[in-house]
A and B are shown apart, each in its own frame.
Chain A
Amino acid sequence: MKILVCISHVPDTTAKINFVNGDSEFDTNGVQFVINPNDEFGLTRAIWFKEQAGANVTVVNVGGPDAEATLRKALAIGADEAIRVNANPTDGFFVAKQLAEVVKNGGFDLVIAGKESLDYNGGMVPGMLAGLLGFDFVNSCINLEVNGSDAKAVREIDGGKETLSAKLPLVIGGQKGLVEEKDLRIPNMRGIMMARQKALTVLEPVAANSNTKAVKFEKPAPKSAVKLISADNLDELVNLLHNEAKVI
């Protein structure tokens, strides 16, 4: 089985979110970048398939040279090889087009991408990729088993979960549950050394449209300070929730 794991290179959760150039671009100054958490759950599941069933795992990112550190981390965790499509990921459709090309040329059976990235929260790349390729698609996937060309996937639904059967080739929009947080791996020294020897291929992008553009960014208005209510005066809390906040 050939697995492609799509990796977004995103600011760490604790990063300060600021914008530059007239609020049109994210300020990367001093920001630590990481593997998008939803992608990391998928990557770890893919490595499990490698260890249990001899799958080959390739990671891919659409981005600039700065994303290579994140791809190297994925290699250190256990992926076999990496591909970077050398392009500015302008919108979800553009990225999906690039990934579709990589999938077609690489003959992948299973594509795992996080259901959403931490930065733009678009939540569109896995679905668009499946649509472009005509592959089966399971989103919000919290468990995945593969047996030959048959897959059994569990997806989260509002208020529960649903078990689905699908055929490879398959695109998964992954999240926590594919593996648990405790199963995530921190690269060890041996992994880091080995990652240096693994292939990281840089491909030039194919021609594709962007269907959207990020015009600018705004930060939410600063919050007013919390109103503290004494534990002995809970009537006041009920009153505020009813008369001021109007939520009960």
Chain B
Amino acid sequence: MSILIYAEFAEGKFKKTALELASYAKKIAGETGTTVTALTINAIDAAAQLGKYGVDKVLNVKSDKLTAFNAKAYADAIKQAAQKESSKIVLFNSTTDSLYIAPLVAVALEAGYASNVVAQPISLSPFQVKRNAFSNKAFNITEITTDVKVLTIGKNSYGVFENAVSATEEEFSPSLNDADFSVKVESSEKVSGKVTIADAEIVVSGGRGLKGPENWGILEDLAAVLGAATACSKPVSDLGWRPHSEHVGQTGKPVAANLYIAIGISGAIQHIAGINSSKVKVVINSDADAPFFKVADYGVVGDAFEIVPKLTEKIKAFKAQNS
């Protein structure tokens, strides 16, 4: 009956979103008098890292065949772990990989699936959750009617809470078949040493108001002092000023950061749809009538080329004082 989470382990550690997922699961386990089990793949030191956030038991799969991500094989392993633990609730993050796996697991377990969940369940019986829908323009209360439930939890929708327990760890060897490996990774390109938009707590984003790719330095400087990821609007990526991977908005990447700073972005409805689940939004724009001001929390009207470098200096000074 244990609640199962799939805790993503990458580059030697668990992502913050995995710790948030553990915290989320522990809260439900506390209310239902059950425990939390984490399925991990090729993780190191998992019990100590996850036990701190309430995970009671770790099932770690050690397999050379699973070194590269493989959706079908990972889904098969998670399904078998859920069956072993008789889990009624299986939880995932909203990372690209987890969103890839979750529907496969749901079908395999004959479970109802709700994605984009933004808070703890509204009720456990009937099982109802609140989720984002209509591109963040509405919430949808969804009831899952099956015995087993699969959820993907939005980033920053619950928070990370310490709740130390002494977790046990055992090696788990699911039986995987050849069909699980028919899709193969040929190559992978990943920018290293840069905060990704998916992981970032703060995102600094630029639009056509910056006038050209040669002017991105001021934005990168601001991102550097904030430890932020850089992003851009659709026109900027269409013009080739910035790579497609930085395009955020409805047809680009979604952003659910703590702080989103929009510089020279007018705020087209498609852009807002993609970034609206960010908690705090700041706009810097020379046009006081830009639609972004309607959705922002804080706004500065003026010339980005003057404001942004000044703001970078102010934040640098603030950080020096407060560190």
Contacts and interface: CB of A to CB of B under 8 A. Distances in A.
Q: Interface size for chain A: under 10, 10 to 19, 20 to 34, or 35 or more residues?
A: 35 or more
A38 B292 CA distance: 24
A163 B186 contact: yes
Interface stretch (B32-40, B195-203, B211-219): B195-203
A245 interface: yes
Interface residues of B, number: 96
Given A13-B273, A226-B293, A215 B143 contact: yes
Contacts of A138: 183
A236 B106 CA distance: 49
B264 to A, nearest CB: 14
A181 interface: yes
Interface stretch (A75-83, A103-111, A129-137, A193-201): A129-137
Contact of B143 (A213, A228, A235, A247): A213
A211 B126 CA distance: 13
Interface in A180-218: 180-182, 210-218
Contacts, number: 263
Contacts of B297: 226-227, 245
Contacts of A242: 318, 322
Given A121-B135, A165-B183, A228-B301, A241 B96 contact: no
A247 B204 CA distance: 13
A159 B193 CA distance: 10
Interface of B: 69, 71-72, 75, 95-97, 99-104, 106-108, 110-116, 128, 130-146, 179, 182-191, 194, 196-199, 201-202, 226, 234, 238, 244-245, 250-253, 258-259, 269-270, 273, 279-280, 282-283, 293-303, 306-307, 310-311, 314-315, 318, 322
Given A157-B188, A176-B252, 13 more contacts: A13-B273, A93-B113, A121-B133, A124-B103, A128-B103, A159-B191, A163-B188, A210-B145, A212-B112, A214-B141, A217-B138, A231-B303, A234-B310
Nearest 5 A/B pairs, CB to CB: A127-B103, A211-B112, A131-B107, A159-B196, A231-B302
